[in-house]
């Protein structure tokens, strides 16, 4: 009915009508036209065009880049076209393309044995991705820690020269983390530490557990600790709930509801008298986002959540927004992202 009203009011165009009629089963075939003027039209194009192929450019909207990446619609094959490779490197540097795929491409660039043996010298005659690919392959072949470190930081210099350092920062950190600290030469210790990205959220403050408030109690250790003891969490929940139950004036906040829903989603039995549906009856989830989960459109779902959060700090999200984000992640069973969000938003930090 809404679609018919849109058409009657002249608020839809031929492209949109064609795609929707096909998706509704009212047309056998949709046209093969691909529109990238906005994310909706591009999404409709990708799900209605058979053998869909799209070659993004530097001018392609960032949201479309993210959708292509999330939906695994881009694969980089070896090419000698420097401009094409540069395009993907820039997108990875801006965070709209999977950085790991850049390094997969680097591994596929063919080099002779002599080039690899003399990589540090040969790379001076190469430019752009070719020089980076050569040094990266030499790193993978190196079994000497000191030589490997020299190459790792040489590669960092090459990325910095082309203003693409964001592509490499996390990758470098991941490699350095895997190294045994005992094997790192003294002259590299400081620079290695400076280039390791810390995932320790303690920089936000030490967690202070408060068993008088459910979402700040020791129950949330299930999200704040690396390997929580689930049996102990169940006991902690039972203990904390008994205390709260004795407090006749206790009010279940939105963050409490978030915690209860998440624990229930993970299989923890919630007392019958705690009616989660009643506690959350005034909290709403946007219908369009619920449909994405129902249709298993995980790539588009994650893009939508990124758009909603925007540039805001996660810990500053209002409770209503936090509720529907966590609720959706529970339904989609995206636990790793959900746990990271809860780790940042539920605890009291001092």
Q: How far apart are CA 163 and CA 152, in angstroms?
A: 17
Q: Are 69 and 98 in contact (CB under 8 A)?
A: yes
Q: Tens digit of pLDDT for each residue in 31-44?
A: 888 888 888 888 88
Q: Tens digit of pLDDT for each residue in 254-295?
A: 999 999 999 999 888 998 888 999 999 888 888 888 888 888
Q: Tens digit of pLDDT for each residue in 74-114?
A: 766 656 678 888 888 988 888 778 888 899 999 989 999 99
Long-range contact pairs involving 100-108 (C-beta distance under 8 Å, separation at least 24): 100/171, 101/74, 101/75, 101/76, 102/76, 102/167, 103/136, 103/171, 104/76, 105/76, 105/78, 105/129, 105/133, 106/132, 106/133, 106/136, 106/137, 107/133, 107/136, 107/137, 107/140, 108/77, 108/78
Tell me whether residue 81 is exposed, middle or buried, using C-beta atoms within 10 angstroms of its C-beta: 0 to 12, 13 to 18, 19 or more. exposed
Residue 328 is predicted with a pLDDT of 92
State mean pLDDT over 218-228.
86
State mean pLDDT over 240-246.
90
Task: Using the predicted structure, report yes or no on whether residue 202 has a pLDDT greater than 60.
Answer: no
Task: Using the predicted structure, report yes or no on whether residue 139 has a pLDDT greater than 70.
Answer: yes
Give the number of other Cβ atoms within 10 Å of residue 280's Cβ.
18
Task: Using the predicted structure, report yes or no on whether residue 17 has a pLDDT greater than 90.
Answer: no
Q: What is the largest CA-CA distance in the chain?
A: 78
Task: Using the predicted structure, report yes or no on whether residue 148 has a pLDDT greater than 70.
Answer: yes
Helix (H) or strand (E) run with residue 162 in it: none
Q: What is the mean pLDDT of the chain?
A: 86
Q: How far apart are CA 259 and CA 183, in angstroms?
A: 43
């Amino acid at each position: 009915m809404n679609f018919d009203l849109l058409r009657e009011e002249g608020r839809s165009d031929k492209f949109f009508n064609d795609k929707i009629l096909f998706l509704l089963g009212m047309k056998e075939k949709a046209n093969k036209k691909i529109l990238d003027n906005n994310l909706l039209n591009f999404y409709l194009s990708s799900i209605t065009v058979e053998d869909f192929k799209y070659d993004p450019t530097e001018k392609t909207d960032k949201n479309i880049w993210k959708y292509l990446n999330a939906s695994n619609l881009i694969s980089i094959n070896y090419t000698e076209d420097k401009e094409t490779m540069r395009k993907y490197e820039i997108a990875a540097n801006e965070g709209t393309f999977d950085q790991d795929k850049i390094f997969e491409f680097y591994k596929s660039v063919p080099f002779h044995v002599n080039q690899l043996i003399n990589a540090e010298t040969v790379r001076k005659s190469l430019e752009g991705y070719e020089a980076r690919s050569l040094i990266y392959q030499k790193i993978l072949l190196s079994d000497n820690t000191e030589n490997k470190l020299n190459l790792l930081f040489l590669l960092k210099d090459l990325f910095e020269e082309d203003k693409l350092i964001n592509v490499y920062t996390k990758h470098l950190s991941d490699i350095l983390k895997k190294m045994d600290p005992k094997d790192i030469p003294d002259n590299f210790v400081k620079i290695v530490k400076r280039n390791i990205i810390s995932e320790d959220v303690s920089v936000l403050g030490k967690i202070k557990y408060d068993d008088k408030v459910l979402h700040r109690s020791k129950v949330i250790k299930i999200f704040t600790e690396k390997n929580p003891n689930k049996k102990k969490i169940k006991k902690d929940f039972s203990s904390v709930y008994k205390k709260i139950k004795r407090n006749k004036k206790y009010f279940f906040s939105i963050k409490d509801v978030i915690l209860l829903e998440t624990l229930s989603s993970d299989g923890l039995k919630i007392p019958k008298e705690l009616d989660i549906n009643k506690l959350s009856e005034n909290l709403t989830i946007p219908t369009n986002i619920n449909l994405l989960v129902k249709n298993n459109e995980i790539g588009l779902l994650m893009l939508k959540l990124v758009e909603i959060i925007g540039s805001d700090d996660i810990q500053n999200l209002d409770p209503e927004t936090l509720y529907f984000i966590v609720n959706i992640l529970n339904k989609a069973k995206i636990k790793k992202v959900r746990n990271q969000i809860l780790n940042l938003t539920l605890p009291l930090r001092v």
